[in-house]
Amino acid sequence: MYKSFKDMRLWREAMDVAVEIFSLTENLPWKEDYGFTSQVRRAALSISGNIAEAYGRNHTSDKINFYYIARGSITELQSHLEYGRRVW
């Protein structure tokens, strides 16, 4: 069993994704009003945040719910990245 959510490989990988997304969005065009940048960064950070929150829950059903939310954040991020690829 893990002593902390930080021990979870899944959380560490999700945090790596958030850090990478932050780096990738640093140089978006100035015409971008930061709405897209903010949305992409929040979706990326939400993945690790929901994994950590799942870890902190006592009931299995609560844990599962937060893992599902994290999975939803992954698909949200994928959609945003596809949009970014198409417009930039």
74 belongs to a structural domain:
yes
Residue 87: the pLDDT is 87
Q: Which is more confidently placed, 33 or 24?
A: 24
Number of structural domains in the chain:
1
12 belongs to a structural domain:
no
2 belongs to a structural domain:
no
Q: What is the mean pLDDT of residues 17-35?
A: 85
Residue 32: the pLDDT is 67
**pTM greater than 0.95:** no
CATH number at residue 70: 1.20.1440.60
Tell whether the model's pLDDT for residue 67 goes beyond 80: yes
Q: At what angle do helices 35-56 and 60-87 cross, to 10 degrees?
A: 160
29 belongs to a structural domain:
no
Q: What is the mean pLDDT of residues 12-22?
A: 98
| Distance from C-alpha of 21 to C-alpha of 24, rounded to nearest angstrom | 5
